[in-house]
Each structure stands twice: as C-alpha cells, then as structure tokens.
Amino acid sequence: MSQRSSLYRTLEIIERLNSSQLLCIDILAQEYGVSERTIRRDFELIRNIFGDFVTKDKDCYRAYDTMVLDRVLSATDLMTLANIVNLFDITKNQSQISDKTKELVKRSMSVYDFKSRPFEVIENYDIVKILEHAIKFNKEIELEYKTERVLTKIKLEPYKILFLNENFYIIGVISSKRKVEFRRIGMIESVTYTKKSFRTDAKVTNFIKKIQTPWANFDSREVRVRLRADVKIRRYFMRKKYLPSQKIVKTYDNGDIEVHYEITNYREIEDLVIKWLPNIEILEPRNLKRFIKRTLSKKMHSLTQFRVDDKI
C-alpha cells in the first residue's frame, strides 16, 4: 500500500478499530509505508482525542468500546450536525465527519425536520479540509481573508471550527499579535500551511470551551449582567437558555424573574436585551444601560436618514 497522509491514515485506523479489528504496529507500519514509531504516535493521538477505548496486547490493539455517537447526542446536537452535513455536502466530500455520524443524521431526519440553516455559502470545501487537518495536527496556517473592501493575509494557529449564530468560524491565535481572533470561514479565500507547528495554550482551550457568541473577548474579565424579565415574558427564559451562562436566580412577588449572565463583551447580550424591550430591565451594570442607549440611538438616527414609505 502506498504511503498516505497522516490524517487519512489515522482516520482509517479509527474505522478499523471501530469494526473490532485487531491492529498490530508492525503490520500497520508495513501497510502504510511508515515507521513503527509513526504508528505509535497515531495511537497516542487517537487516545488523546477520543479517550482510552482500546486494549493493548504487546504491540497489538483492539477496541473494547466503539465510539457510538447516538448514545450522547441531544436534539440540538443533531440539528447542528444536520446543518454541517447539509452545508458541506458530506456525502460527496471527505471530512472529519464519520460515516456513523452521517448515518445517525440520516436516521434522525425521519423524526426531526430542522428548518434553521446556515445562511452563508461555503463553496471551497478544500479550505475546510485544510482547516480540519491543521487543527488536528497543530499546524500553523496562512490564510487570505476577504471582507467587502479588503483582502488581508494572516498567519494563524488554528484551534477549532465553531458553529455560532448560524455561521462557521475558525478560531485561533494570530501568530504575530499573540491574539485570539475569530474568522468567518465563508470569507476565507485561500489557506496554505506554513512550515511551523505550535503547542496549544491551555488558556485558549479553556476560553473556547466557554465561548457563547462570536463577540467573546479572550483574556477579558467576565462581567455579570442582571436582568429583570417581566412576568409576561418570563416563560421564554424559563424554557430556553439564550446564552449558556444564563441562570434564573430570583422570582419577585409579582411574578417577574431575575436572570443572570456572565459575558466578556456587551455585544454578547445586546441583541437579547433589545429584542425583549420594553419588558426587560437592566439591573446592572450601569455601563450596559448606556451601551444599549447608544446602540438604539444609532439605529433610530439611521432611520431618519431615509424616507419611509408607509405603503408596503
């Protein structure tokens, strides 16, 4: 067998483990045309990512448990996976999404029908493949990122592909600034590998776990937001978490509730507050009140710049 990329070699090993095959280091090294040391590193990587689900007998491995995703997936997870499968057309393009996951999404469609879809169009699937590979193997990349007016180049240490607010983002550390930033994948024109690798930073990894919105700020102190929701709308907050940090901490005598959030940027809570005005009150911080007032003032000012035709 000819030598293949480390990514696809590792994925094939995982598939073979999931099919209950007994895999031996020396035989795999011969099949893939690599050293036994390389194959051992593959198994170390698999254990680091998926946990210890294999038993070892001398230099041979067998899985004692398969990675069956439908044991742990919720309806929300299924919706996200369905979006990913539909957006990237996984049935025709190779990706980190396994055949088992694709089959799981397919089966779920007999019960669920998800109308929410990412509105951005990602046309270059090769970019996604490169991003996946770079994340798995800690490879620095250089990407061209295009806004409406400017095409910029940045070198990035990529950590995760995030699905937030119906958009896909790559999040990582800008090499030159040592700054954590988001980039919309749909706006990436090209991606190439540099010759550098990087070590993941535990602080960045922990930050990513706590991200609630694309406006989260790395290394910023969390601010507690206290809101009072009118009894007329409290049921919406009691049935749905608008941000993962949401906590209902108090019910007032008249039925109003107090809701808390932890954020790093006022923009994270801006749309939520504006959506529920005038049935929501900002208790603290005061600066958030001023921020919302400025936002509303700008919106109202923009409306005055145009002639509004009442006839629709």
pLDDT digits (tens, 9 = 90+) for 180-227: 999 998 889 999 999 999 999 999 999 998 999 999 999 899 999 999
- How confident is the model at residue 72, as a pLDDT? 38
- Does residue 266 surpass a pLDDT of 90? yes
Q: Does the domain spanning 125-210 belong to CATH 3.10.20.600? A: no
Amino acid found at 90: I
8 Å CB contact between 238 and 230 = no
- Average pLDDT of 39-58? 75
> Which residues lie below 8 Å from residue 3, measured CB to CB, with a gap of 6+?
32, 33, 34
* 234 class by beta-carbon count within 10 Å (0-12 exposed, 13-18 middle, 19+ buried): buried
> Which residues lie below 8 Å from residue 213, measured CB to CB, with a gap of 6+?
164, 165, 243, 265, 267, 268
- Average pLDDT of 16-32? 87
Q: Percentage helix, strand, coil, to 5, in the chain?
A: 40, 25, 35
In the chain, ranges of CATH 3.30.70 domains: 223-304
8 Å CB contact between 284 and 225 = yes
- How confident is the model at residue 198, as a pLDDT? 95
Look at the domain 223-304 and name its fold.
Alpha-Beta Plaits (3.30.70)
Look at the domain 6-63 and name its fold.
Arc Repressor Mutant, subunit A (1.10.10)
Neighbours of 42 (CB within 10 A): 21
- How confident is the model at residue 91, as a pLDDT? 42
In the chain, ranges of CATH 1.10.10 domains: 6-63
Across 10-24, 30-44, 137-151, least confident range: 10-24
